[in-house]
Chains A and B, each alone.
Chain A
Amino acid sequence: MVDDVEVTLFPAGHILGSAQVRLRYRGETIVDTGDYKRLADPTAQAFELVPCDILVTEATFGLPVFQHPRPMDEIRRLLKSVADNPERAHLIGAYALGKAQRVMSLLRQAGYDRPIFLHGAMVELTSLYEERGISLGPTKLAIEASKAELAGAIVIAPPGAMKDRWSRRLPDPVLAMASGWMSVKQRARQSGVELPLVISDHADWNELRETISETGSSQVLVTHGREDALVYWCRQQGLAATPLNIVGYDELGEGGE
């Protein structure tokens, strides 16, 4: 309780520990989803649907062009490429918190049991996930591996390191990138990504709409992303909807994934 407001956290399914916030005051309920996704993911506590009167929803992928494919299909494409190119390393760009561990977990679910090589920036957060009981299988530090060892291997690094000097140690790497933005091929091409993996920790257009409907809210505030399309859709459904512009959170290009 904070000043008569009841505050409760619910899992958001985005990354380990991510939460939605429910505020209750004099019988009225507001839920802020924060970043969330509803697909099953062993590296995050499963999203819980929280009914409310007013919903504050994220909209990172708030356009109908974003229909995320099944992550396991993407992992199979990755594994096929690894099998087809045994002399090359596969370098996957993924954020150090959340996405890297999600990719590792998906690889393990697909039966990949070889060591996964990590950029130094991944190590601490990956250990943290392990401490919390999320088993991600054998890992090694890429910096300690020989070029021969890295041929045919999967390496995960933060996107910023992919094209930096760090990556020169890798044998002729296939640049892959794990992100919901990768569905747009022209973008992938412009950023020099050879193997785009559409793996997202955010709700896609269909999930965003389903969630809004299922919460039963009559008023929707849309934030963090492409608000216009989602606000338009809500109004078509007869819901009161407005974009919520957070001061200092102007659109900084394509962050947040």
Chain B
Amino acid sequence: MKRFAELLELLALTPSRNRKIEALKTYFAETPDPDRGFALAILTGALSFKNVKPAVLREVVTREVDPHLFALSYDYVGDLGETIALIWPHHGAQEDLPRLGDLVELLETTSKSRLPDLIASLLTRAAINERWALVKLATGALRIGLSARLAKTALAEMSGRPVQEIEEIWHGLKIPYTELFDWLEGRGERPDIAHEVRFHPLMLSNPIDETVDLDKLDPKDFSAEWKWDGIRVQLVLGNGPASLFSRTGDDIAAAFPDLVDNVFGQAVLDGELLVGENFEPASFNDLQQRLNRKVASARHLADYPAFIRVYDMLFDGLEDVRRLRWTERRQRLEAWLEKNPQTRLDLSEVLSFANWEELAELRRRGAAEHGHEGVMLKLKTSPYVPGRPKGLWFKWKRDPNVVDAVLMYAQRGHGKRSSFYSDYTFGVWKGNELVPIGKAYFGFTDAELRELDKWVRNHTVASFGPVREVAKELVFEVAFDSAQLSGRHKSGVALRFPRISRIRWDKPAQEAGTLEEMQVFLGAT
């Protein structure tokens, strides 16, 4: 437990991704089974103790500490778990805590009525730093900014296996992952898991460089589709409940019951998850209402029904069709949908075009009239190749929208950038007043960042904690994918994916954009 507590603290406090990975690798390499497997489950959110509820913890702590003093403390600290860890009277850690594996077993098997006593005795035995880890793992609310993907990446680096191979079988594995570690350390075969829970790494596209690539490519060799503004998913259909995987192999089915409970047949499909009535995609903002939620509320299910716009097929029934060319897979997909008509799946339309000019025109109109993100190009002879193979799939994004905006506030960055003012809030004119429309922290080179940092320091007019307000003199050309109405900003406008495309050292602030000019971007989303 001591080791795990140290690991958790390091993961919570080090800002560097590489250092987190190093720490995870060392931990997994040096910790025996089954402790490391339980650690992996805790870190990836795969393990929770159904009887350890916040109410139980409150009960435990208020038996030991005056409830009013606890309330005042909770109010100050703001996090239940951390308050309990800090407030628990310190008795000097006389005895080591059980090993992680034993601890997990204790928390899982102790009856509800005896759980408060168990937790109290563990807290009393723990050293100060261990108490924090103990409460975190018991409640399952780590909140240390670690993604499951990072833990898998560490396993991949530790073993030299590609992370995709781990993702593929992840959801079929059983805690404490002994089989997984056996395989990763060369003592066993790759665990064999049921088809229905197997994730198949996705085929990804490369951005097209219009000035170079198009001349070399023959339009007749390619098929084109709209680039949909949702999230990429893989749907695995078969016996038992459907699995819905995100592009990194996280199973997100629980958040989309309206979708997974209403699809049938046997296949593995690749497509875009969208929300909207009658296959009419709503904005990404609407989709976002349903993402990052563990379960969907009734209101969200009604307001934002989910569907998948399917564009590829990996398995037809139980047959692996990934080696077939795109044209054959497409035929299979169309036939399959005809045989299995669905209310939550529809087909991504294939665009017809004779040459690149025609497609360019389509792409422009699609962006302006329907807010499409661009077009996808797929080589008709291409098999389904996991990863990001060169020359097979291309994304041809719409031209970004740009606006000239004035720098208003700057804030220091994180990690390597913590001594630089690298986060910029910018605004446009509303009459004689500037109103903020967004924030960006990339799009410039390191050399430009040094210049900007110096500029901010020399033009500060006021400081509010970590934020500096600057003289309204510097203009940024800001590129963004789309603009949406927003109640959160004073300007009423929010930008999607804003980045600094140029620093206009030359341009007077008075000539920057206005809020009226922003209105045209609101139409096309």
Contacts and interface: CB of A to CB of B under 8 A. Distances in A.
Interface of A: 63-67, 69, 163-165, 167-168, 175, 183-186, 188-189, 192-196, 226, 228-229, 232-233, 236
Contacts of A184: 77, 82, 86
A195 B14 CA distance: 8
B52 to A, nearest CB: 20
Interface string B101-126: 00000000000000000000000000
B87 A64 contact: yes
Contacts of A165: 419
B419 A65 contact: no
Given A188-B13, A192-B418, A195-B13, A65 B73 contact: yes
Contacts of A232: 68-69, 72
A189 B69 contact: no
A228 B69 CA distance: 9
B87 A189 contact: no
28 contacts: A63-B76, A64-B69, A64-B70, A64-B87, A65-B87, A66-B86, A67-B90, A69-B128, A163-B412, A163-B419, A165-B419, A175-B418, A185-B12, A185-B13, A186-B77, A188-B13, A189-B12, A189-B13, A189-B144, A192-B15, A194-B13, A194-B14, A195-B13, A196-B13, A226-B72, A226-B76, A232-B68, A232-B72
Interface in B74-94: 76-79, 82-83, 86-87, 89-90
Contacts of B9: 185
Interface bracket on B? 20 to 34
Most chain B beta carbons < 10 A, residue from A63, A66, A226:
A63
Contacts of B86: 65-67, 183-184
A196 B132 CA distance: 14
Interface in B302-332: none
A164 B419 contact: yes
B254 interface: no
Given A64-B87, A184-B86, A185-B132, A228 B72 contact: yes
Nearest to B83: A65
Nearest to A233: B69
B65 interface: yes
A192 B417 CA distance: 11
B85 to A, nearest CB: 9
Q: Nearest 8 pairs between A and B by C-beta?
A: A65-B86, A65-B73, A229-B72, A65-B87, A163-B418, A67-B90, A64-B87, A194-B13
Contacts of B78: 186
